[in-house]
Structure 1
């Protein structure tokens, strides 16, 4: 990859080793990596401090704040920043959500060095990367379809669904009524075509809305 000046890149990934690997690949292919982080809060803080970053390579789950929250913050902090998702979390809901919020490409963690390098180059030169996980056509189509939002309370509910708490205990922990917990459950069932608590757990984990430490 060649250009008059290095492409300024930042990396945010839940796995430190992947951060290092992505940094190495980017550095070998005409990029200057300004920082690496595993924390969503740290990422937001650094993006506020440095508006010169051109491309962000980001995972879905991050410490403190995940990509579902971060992607909306980026739109406020630096709407010109080009975001390339690099993650193993490729659930249809995740891809749709990220496309709607303006990402420039989505590649899986299994992508090799050539694909990652080509993706960075494509995003830099064209503003998008069309790949196996998300094509340009799909990206454009999904960007026009309002995505179902998941509130902080609903995410908290999903986190508790991944524990051994019953619904009554969740309501007490969240300081809401049992009926509200039932409403969260039924709403998520309906919106995402789920039928039971096991489905809720699988949806939470496969989308990266919830990660188990």
Structure 2
């Protein structure tokens, strides 16, 4: 008997292609397609047989992945859910896992690995990639810019522009001497030695977006 899979994704073409892929696995078959979390909630409320696995996208209209996951955690905590998305930031990964997601997959996953992930969730209960493990581990660590003041973050953002330090001082209504103090403080806190180092740090940690 095949394990049933529900697909929750608002991209119709992708969802149907995914349906064909899942149905090609002898151990699995798709039991339903849903365009957002609200449609899945309505299905669950109809007291029909629940799927063995829910494949859940993150960004969807009406009711997104995290909201759906929160609802499932409260109402059907034993439901196995695999996130399948393009969102690969650590905060989203950690949030979904914290809400009870049994695994987190990116949509460019190899079909063989995808099949293996489905089987792992059925037989072992979880399938965590290195990215998930790293996200969980990193959430316990302080972010390197958490100890920066609001004014230091503002200075850091302006330092990424073409402004001179004198122009940055004028923009922030501060003296050049105070700006020099911010710069030296950031050099020490962030362990960098130049303005280029400040810029690279700001871009890496999305304080300044290109």
Q: Which of the five TM-score ranges fits, normalised by the shorter chain?
A: 0.5 to 0.7
In structure 1, the gaps of 5 or more residues are 146-194, 203-213
CA distance in 2, matches of 1:144, 1:11: 32
Aligned to 1:118: 116
CA contact (8 A) 1:123 1:129 kept: yes
Higher relative contact order, chain-length normalized (CA < 8 Å, sep 6+)? 1
Question: 2: CA distance between counterparts of 1:71 and 1:143?
Answer: 19
Larger Rg: 2
- 1:73 matched residue in structure 2: 71
Superposition pairs of residues 128-139 of structure 1, within 5 angstroms: 128-135=126-133
- Gaps of at least 5 residues in structure 2 are 142-201
1:34 paired residue number: 31
TM-score, normalising length from structure 1? 0.60
Corresponding residue of 1:181: none
Deviations 1:37-91 (A, max 9, x none): 1122111111222353110001101220111211111112311110100100111
Q: Secondary structure at the match of 1:36?
A: strand
Change (3 A) 1:32 1:142: farther
- The yes-or-no answer on 1:62 pairing with 2:60 is yes
Say if 2:45 is the partner of 1:48: yes
Q: TM-score, normalised by structure 2?
A: 0.61
Determine the structure 2 residue equivalent to 1:25: 21
Contact 2:38 2:62 in 1 (8 A): yes
Q: Which runs of 4+ in 1 moved over 3 A?
A: 141-145
- Work out the number of aligned pairs and report it: 144
The answer to whether the 8 A contact 1:54-1:82 is kept is yes
